[in-house]
Structure 1
Amino acid sequence: MVIYGVYIVSKSGGLIFNHDHNIPKVETEKVFSFPIDLTLEYDPKKVSVAFGQKDGINVGHILTSINGVAVNGNTTEEGNDVKELIENEGNYPLTLKFSRPKMTTNEKIFLASMFYPLFAIASQLSPEPKSSGIEVLEADTFKLHCFQTLTGVKFMTVAETTQTGMDVFLRKIYELYSDYVLKNPFYSLEMPIRCELFDANLQGLLEQIEKTGITNI
């Protein structure tokens, strides 16, 4: 069982903390003949799949190597232009490796801001008064668990669908937040959390869960 990450969202919907814990690296390498049956987008910082998917290569995946040579932006480590290599029939067959890109901080901030109104809508749609909003959001490959405090701060974790005891885990994180963050006289509720003691104790909690299980924390 795996916990992928932890997120804390402020009362106003801003992402104030995130921690990537055990996100699997997804890579796919394939030999292509000319022309390749994927549509690529050539951005100055990356080459990504814009259309088409096959054999584990999906839209949004980025090109990381050509014939074993790493790709940085639009060029290889040897200084060759990626677009020229791929569009030149004489270079084929080519072995291209693609990987799922790591989510950027800006993307995480955007997702947190999207979850905030969804949580509010869920509370309003509930037939019962004083709904707690979204507590579990389940997909086919993960579950998002959410715990909202009385002050409106949301603690969220993304884990495998089989991971149990996430409600206990989120309350343990809240205890760490109360002990190491809220007791700081210079901290404001809307500020990003930058606290080494909180980071260290959260990492220790995650490692303890991996070793002993959620029921022993």
Structure 2
Amino acid sequence: MSIQHVFIISKAGSLIYSWENKVNESISVEKTYEWPLDLKLSYIDQKATVVFGENDKVKLRYTISAINSINVINGKFMEDDEEKDLLTYLEDKKNYPLTLTFNSPQLTANEKIILSSMFHSLYTIAAQVAPTPKSYGIECLETTQFKLHCFQSLTGIKFIAVVSESFTQSVDGLLRKIYEIYSDFALKDPFYAIDMPIRCEKFDDALNATLEKYENTSAVTI
């Protein structure tokens, strides 16, 4: 899917809703390596993670899920009925060649909260240092792999969409549509309190339908 993430951030900077594309969640990359290994790995949250030396297929923050088709759990794997540490194993020349399976990174709930708060701060700074008055802060951030678009409502709620380079539809139009859905299904829900996490089935259904529509339209355009 071209739409990768959707975030809604409250006026105070807290994350109140997030949606992520689950289609590519299980994507993995398998590659055979000779000695010496041209990747720098480090344990992050007990997972062997790429921190330096990315290439066309294996990117930064990719984690190793298997070695020679043997599952790796918390940096450990079994070989000849013996538990072995992955990084120690990779440092031994006699173990090569070997095949590693990498999984693409997935944002944890805690990471989403941290990134939302960080973006809120950057947005505020951008609005304050702008040379023109009444600046709306960050509207678009572009990288080599994705684009991040932001729309802020008059009440200070931020609607963010992270899309791939292949997405051809108007992201501003998508964000405004999400704002309409938020107004119709979240704010009008008698059990919903403003600036609190959104827990509304009708909101979820309407958002999913809208994202699917935009995704299909983008695919047809391509």
Normalising by the smaller structure, the TM-score range is 0.7 to 0.9
SS in 2 for 1:146: strand
Q: Residues 147 and 154 of structure 1 are in contact (CA less than 8 Å); yes or no, is this contact kept in structure 2?
A: yes
**SS, match of residue 72 in structure 2:** strand
| Distance change (3 Å), C-alpha of 1:67 and 1:186 | same
Contact persistence 2:39–2:54 (CA under 8 A): yes
Tell me how far 1:119 sits from its aligned partner.
1.2
> How much has 1:64 moved relative to structure 2?
1.4
TM-score normalised over the length of structure 2: 0.83
Shift, 1:204, TM fit: 0.8
Count of residue pairs the alignment pairs up: 214
- Aligned partner of 2:137 in structure 1 is 133
Partner of 1:5: 5
Counterpart amino acid of 1:210?
A: E
Q: In 2, distance between residues paired with 1:208 and 1:42?
A: 40
Aligned residue for 2:19?
A: 19
Match of 1:65 in 2: 66
| CA RMSD of superposed structures (Å) | 2.5
Sort the Cα spacing of 1:16 and 1:24 in 2 relative to 1 into closer, same or farther, 3 A: same
Return the offset for 1:33: 2.5
Matched position secondary structure for 2:195: coil
Greater alpha carbon shift after TM alignment, 159-168 vs 178-187: 159-168
Please report the TM-score for the alignment, with normalisation by the length of structure 1.
0.85
- Residues 25-174 of structure 1 aligned to structure 2 (within 5 Å): 27-42=28-43, 45-54=46-55, 56-76=57-77, 80-81=83-84, 82-161=86-165, 162-174=167-179
For 2:212 and 2:44, the matched residues in 1 are separated by 38
Which of 203, 206, 209 is the equivalent residue of 2:211? Answer: 206
Specify whether residues 194 and 33 from structure 1 end up closer, same or farther in structure 2 by C-alpha distance, changes over 3 A only. Answer: same
1:111-133 Cα shifts (integer Å, max 9, x gaps): 11111122112222333322222
Farther-moved stretch of structure 1 (75-84 vs 156-165): 75-84
SS in structure 2 of the partner of residue 97 of structure 1 = strand
Asked whether the 8 Å contact 2:14–2:117 carries over to 1, the reply is yes
Comparing 5-14 and 29-38, the one that deviates more: 29-38
Percent sequence identity over matched residues?
45
Q: Evaluate the alpha carbon distance shift between residue 80 and residue 157 of structure 1 in structure 2; reply closer, same or farther with a 3 A threshold.
A: same
1:14 deviates by 0.8
The residue type paired with residue 37 of structure 2 is I
Q: CA deviation at 1:209?
A: 1.5
- The question of whether the paired residues in 1 share the 8 Å contact of 2:62 and 2:105 is answered with yes
